[in-house]
Copies of this chain bind each other. A is one copy, B any other.
Amino acid sequence: MKFHHHRLANGLNIIGEISPSARSTALGFFVRTGARDEVSQVSGVSHFLEHMVFKGTPRRTALDVNCDFDRIGANYNAFTSEENTVFYAAVLPEYVPQAVDILADILRPSLRGEDFEGEKKVILEEIAMYEDQPMWCAYDHAKKAYFADHPLGNSVLGSVASVQALTREQMQAYFDRRYVGPNITVAAAGNFDWRGLLKLIDKHCGNWPSGKAPRKGVRPAAGRDSFQVVPKDKVQQEHVFLISPAPAADAPLRHAADVLAMILGDDTDSRMHWALVDPGLADSADVSFHDYEGTGSFFTSLSCAPEQTQKNLSILRGLFRQVQADGVSAEELAQAKSKVLSRVVRASERPMGRMQALGMSWTYLGKYRSMDDELKAFEAVTLKKIREVLDRHPFAEMATLALGPLKKLRKPR
């Protein structure tokens, strides 16, 4: 494995990790922009723009984009989150030039008026579809309750009203501000020639504008002790999210936080699994650690029969009290480490997995982390560090939101 980094004159960063034994190459364009970078008037613009990127350029129609990717057998896609918009493709090494040509071209989209209006309908359908998914609704509501006026509470999809009101000109202005050289990292992993890649990226992206794309509102989110019930008809189960503070994406304690989440609420063999899922009290109960720029959170989710919800919330409350008081055991720590090490290795086995890890690491930390760096960081997690996570980010103040058939619930004491 060899790592390389280069910065173009316009500020665009190019990073690459070469694995000579790989038989494919994964390429990703990481734009450091997402829902948290939107003002409320343009809520949903990052995600809508991600769709528009596939709708064509001066050189390609939407059909050409699709056919050109298919002609080289590319496995390609994109996603938008609160903080990132990422476009990527995995191809055989001989098709890297074509893949760069397509990806770089579509990252300068035409944003044609007729495509914009057509795609707006698709986005509105996507919003309607998500509104049919109670777990997702509960998540979006809970995020708003927890983050309140913090920009991480912004919805990635936006609302029907904000998307309907959005104009092509607003999207163009957002694009011009955010899709500038210094705000974009190109990450490559697998089998490729570094000098050749540099030349290609320089040729296709060297003339992209530079400029500053500062992120506002980078600050810890305040812990929040709230309790909300959102009645929803035509839903069978009750869906509950509990959100509490956790370390940020660049915090030294982030690996310990990840291990703690696994001990408490991994989908197999965790405290919640044995207390709630295994005895059949809940369909699912898990904890995951989400790290962001400037803050982080533990997301606990629970899905169960409505009549069981009150009791399950008490059980959850008991689990949090117990871990807060007594921490975790050495045996639990050892077992969680085995799991997490195995997952890191398996996620790194494909160029696609390494490309994602490289791009995220550069975006959040501005540095390279090899798979072994990650493994060592997880191996170095101690009981003391987990204690430190609990002390700094206690499971005491939690924003709780339940969505489902229930009209009311008592906050467990």
Contact = CB atoms under 8 A, between A and B. Distances in A.
Nearest to A274: B63
Interface residues of A, number: 34
B73 A341 contact: yes
Interface of A: 19, 21-24, 66-67, 70-75, 90-92, 95, 268-269, 335, 338-343, 345-346, 348-352, 371
B24 A92 contact: no
A346 B24 contact: yes
A338 B23 contact: no
Given A73-B343, A349-B349, 7 more contacts: A19-B21, A22-B349, A66-B269, A71-B335, A72-B342, A75-B342, A92-B342
B349 A71 contact: no
Nearest to A23: B345
B341 A92 contact: yes
Given A66-B269, A90-B346, A21 B21 contact: yes
Contacts of A71: 335, 338
A96 to B, nearest CB: 12
Contacts of A342: 24, 72-75, 90-92, 95
B348 A349 contact: no
A346 B95 CA distance: 14
Contacts of A72: 338, 342
Contact of A269 (B67, B95, B348): B67
Contacts of A23: 345, 348-349, 371
